[in-house]
Structure 1
Amino acid sequence: MTFPVMIVGGGISGLTVAHAMQSAGIEFVLVEGRDRLGGRILSAGIDGLPSEDGFDLGPSWIWPEMQPVLYSLADRLGIRLFPQNDEGDIVLERSASIAPQRFPTFQRAPRSMRIKGGTAAITAALKSRIAAEHVRLGMRVTRLARLDGSVSATLEGPAGTAETMEAAIVVLAMPPRLIDRSIKFEPPVDPALARRWRSTPTWMAPHAKFFAIYDEAFWRRDGLSGAAQSMIGPLGEIHDATTSSGKAALFGFVGVNAAQRRRMGPEPIIQASIEQLTRLFGNKAAAPMATLYRDWAADALTATEDDLIATDHPLPDPRPWVSGDWSPVLMLAGSETSMTSPGYLEGGAEAALRVAAEIELIWQSLARQSAPASDL
């Protein structure tokens, strides 16, 4: 089977490209290795399963003034925002020998905003605008071979089954580092380009998030914002994660590095996190209704071994992400390839819309070339 466009990766980038292709009337197939769409966007319920009113185990915030592309996309999709709670004091934990201290919260500008229903509302809105027959879940692309005028893709299913598809253009809406580690190219990409892909940090890949869910946001009644900073850990930065519908929670970024988390396992980190929240917010924090823990470094469709050590955030890089024999038929659209905001939701939206616009120009040119002279 041959498609004009194959999109590999069903996160915000891949879904945005797919939405643009459908709007432009260009045939496509979207292939996603997970059994769900969203990629690093994951909003989960108290049971840890994807939810339409969940806690954001992946990205949480949007800043409309700083992220105009994402905000415009969200607005077109009918996504509603609400402000991150910052009313009340912040708690600082400087050392084990000094009791946690309270300080008035300073007002951040621009204010952090969250998405009603969780960030996965973006995924759901894009998915609802894409015909289901265009989406293939649970299929990983393991090989791309350059043919005369097209690309042959080898796909591997969950049971080890394999199939082949062809496409005129392949869009890899994935982190460059993951592309380098998981897909074999024939012919191989230029070694310098492969090194660049491999050296590009993957957003969120080294990180883990912990959530403690409660029956009420008791810290607010105590005059606390739910925000905390700690030099002890295991959580370094903590925030109020209460949903727009009122489901109460606190969440923190785990300060233990990925390699150490792998050795420890999740249970000691979860227990130590509950003890830390109790130190910071009082005895009511000691008995959460449930906890959620997500280690992105342990997700094979997000992280590679290179991501066990956190590095600097990716920076915009104007150089082409594809070169040589592959440049006419291969495009990269992951967040890390953004020309403006690599490593953010904004970057994923920007990269996707830029690539989609390039494809539309190509198709318009091909249509003009193939049109009869009388139609020109």
Structure 2
Amino acid sequence: MSSYQYIIIGGGISGLYAAYLLEQRGISDYLLIEANNVLGGRLKSMPINEDEAFDLGATWFWPNEQTQLSNVIHDFGLTTFDQYQIGEMLIDRSLLIPPQRWKQHSPESKRVKGGMKALIDKVVSKLDQTHILLSHQVVELVQEDEHTKVHVKCPNHEIKVFSSQQILVAIPPRLAVSTIQFTPELPVVFKEKWLNTATWMAPHAKYIAVYDHPFWRDQKLSGSAHSSVGPLAEIHDASSAEGSAALFGFIGLPAHARKTIKDVELTQHCRNQLVRLFGSQAATPKSEFIKDWAKDSLIATEDDQSPAMGHPYPPMKSPDKSIWQNKIIGISSEFSPSYSGYLAGAIEAATLGIQTLFSKTQ
């Protein structure tokens, strides 16, 4: 049985950034375990060529508000660009009347050149990748004396067991308590709070259409639209920094309704809506993508099939009266006190988790 000082569960941006912070402190005695065969978690970009990719997960950040994330992106040498917002937006209230044009007033947001995948790739490039284990899912944590035994399901379904002094939980709290058995059990109230913390992005689905030219801009439109008709409830210009044109939208149909519709049919409905809003040129995209996060069992649980009313309120990172106290520390975005559920929250939660880790050892 291999032993590590630290084990990180989850290879999204919070887990990867926590690993980076450990290595910055000169610590190499850790293992990062990711259930998926790729890293990134809820940061997922669809590449269309060597330099361009469109985000199917987290897309924007707000540099004037999210200064820590902005500094991280800058320090990693990534190129950013403004979200396109020039022109009017459309308000779509009925199939019986044309959409109305409104002046757009939105806070300045930015995107990362090459998609958020560029951020993941940059963090990974800074790590010793021999400490990353893909396609392995943590299924049980067993507390024994001063160590935790971490039971991990391998791709061949066999179980490996690792040992660690400290567990950093970099997957959403609801997912953690829904998919991992804790022995002994977590305190009931603490477990319920983790279970009741909505996983941001999990109920949602995104659609992207890629074009040769941003024809909506010729109409003095920003590409943004809000619709009560659907199927896309919110639409934005998703064009890349290099010039590839695209529109993307959040699909307004709830997860249970999306399960009854094949992706090819849903894609057609989304395309028809873009034609109705932006004209006939929207009928012939070069490519289209749908990512339904509610169908991703490594992100969403049954409790995540209905959208949350807002960004989740951060639960406690660790039980305060339990054998598990400070043995597990939650560091996913949901634990961020300032930006729970946002990309900036993942950076903040990872940073605070590492600070907690070392403050209790001093």
TM-score w.r.t. the length of structure 2 is: 0.96
Residue 183 of structure 2 is matched in structure 1 by 186
Query: Which is further off, 91-100 or 38-47?
Result: 38-47
* 8 Å contact kept, 2:35–2:137: yes
Deviation at 1:93, TM superposition (A): 1.3
Q: Distance in 2 between matches of 1:320 and 1:112?
A: 29
Q: What's the CA shift string for 1:1-21, capped at 9, x where partnerless?
A: 100000010111101100011
Check conservation: 2:315, 2:335, Cα contact below 8 A. Answer: no
- Separation of aligned partners in 2, 1:190 and 1:235: 41
Mapping for residues 186-225 of structure 1, pairs under 5 Å: 186-225=183-222
Q: Distance in 2 between matches of 1:66 and 1:103?
A: 25
How far, CA to CA, are the matches of 1:184 and 1:9 in structure 2? 16
> 5 Å matches for 1:108-127?
108-109=106-107, 111-127=108-124
Q: Which residue of 2 aligns with 1:262?
A: 259
Matches of 1:322 and 1:115, distance apart in 2: 36
* Residue of structure 2 in register with 1:44 after alignment: 46
Counterpart in the other structure of 2:132 = 135
TM-superposed CA distance for 1:151, in Å, is: 0.6
**CA deviation after TM superposition for structure 1 residue 322, in Å:** 2.5
CA distance in 1, matches of 2:349, 2:224: 32
SS at match of 2:260: helix
Name the SS of the counterpart of 2:351 in structure 1. helix
Does the residue aligned with 2:41 lie in a helix, a strand or coil? coil
Counterpart in 2 of 1:368?
none
Residues 288-328 of structure 1: per-residue CA shift (max 9 Å, x gap): 11100000000001100011111222444474543311013
Q: Whole-Å Cα distance in 2 between the matches of residues 271 and 65 of structure 1?
A: 38
Provide, for residues 73-102 of structure 1, a one-character-per-residue CA deviation record: whole Å limited to 9, x for no partner. 212211221100011221221101111232
Q: Distance in 2 between matches of 1:321 and 1:156?
A: 24
Question: How many Å separate the matches in 2 of 1:301 and 1:233?
Answer: 28
Contact 2:193/2:315, CA 8 A, preserved across alignment: no
- Asked if structure 2 preserves the Cα contact closer than 8 Å seen for 1:201 and 1:313, the reply is no
Q: Distance in 2 between matches of 1:333 and 1:319?
A: 10
In 1, Cα distance between equivalents of 2:120 and 2:195 = 27
Distance 1:158 1:105, change over 3 A: same
Q: Do 1:189 and 1:326's aligned partners in 2 also have CA atoms closer than 8 Å? A: yes
**One-letter amino acid of the counterpart of residue 225, structure 1:** S
Matches within 5 A, 1:1-376: 1-26=2-27, 27-46=29-48, 53-106=52-105, 108-109=106-107, 111-317=108-314, 319-323=316-320, 324-362=322-360, 365=362
Query: In structure 2, the residue corresponding to 1:209 is in which secondary structure?
Result: strand
Shift of 1:23: 1.1
CA displacement, residues 28-60 of structure 1 (integer Å, 9 cap, x when unaligned): 11111111111000111249xxx7621000011
CA distance in 2, matches of 1:23, 1:241: 34
Do 1:24 and 1:360's aligned partners in 2 also have CA atoms closer than 8 Å?
no
- Paired residue type of 2:16: L
Match of 2:323, SS state, is helix
TM-score (norm: length of structure 1): 0.92
The alpha-carbon deviation at position 123 of structure 1 amounts to 0.6
Q: Distance in 1 between matches of 2:315 and 2:92?
A: 41
Q: CA shift at 1:267, angstroms?
A: 2.1
Give the Cα–Cα distance (whole angstroms) in 2 for the partners of residues 317 and 8 of structure 1. Answer: 18
The 1:87/1:34 distance shift into structure 2, 3 A limit, reads same
Contact 2:69–2:347 (CA<8 Å) still a contact in 1?
A: yes
The sequence identity of aligned pairs, in percent, is 36
Residue type of the alignment partner of 1:360 = F
> Over residues 240-265 of structure 1, what are the superposed CA-to-partner deviations in whole Å (9 max), with x where a residue is unaligned?
00011111110000000011101223
Q: Is the Cα–Cα contact under 8 Å of residues 40 and 58 in structure 1 kept in the other structure?
A: yes
**Structure 1 unaligned regions, length at least 5:** 366-376
Contact 1:335 1:344 (C-alpha < 8 Å) held by counterparts = yes
Kindly provide the amino acid, as one letter, of the partner of residue 337 in structure 1: F
* Matched residue type, 1:342: S
Q: Distance in 2 between matches of 1:294 and 1:141?
A: 24
Q: Is the 8 A contact 1:9 1:172 kept in 2?
A: yes
Moved more, 287-296 or 115-124: 115-124
C-alpha separation in 1, matches of 2:275 and 2:36: 36
Amino acid across the alignment from 2:183 = E
What is the Cα-based RMSD across aligned positions, in Å? 1.5
> 2:318, 2:328 within 8 Å by CA — same for their partners in 1?
no
**Unmatched 5+ residue regions in structure 2?**
none
**How far apart, in 2, do the equivalents of 1:299 and 1:200 lie?**
18
SS at match of 1:313: coil
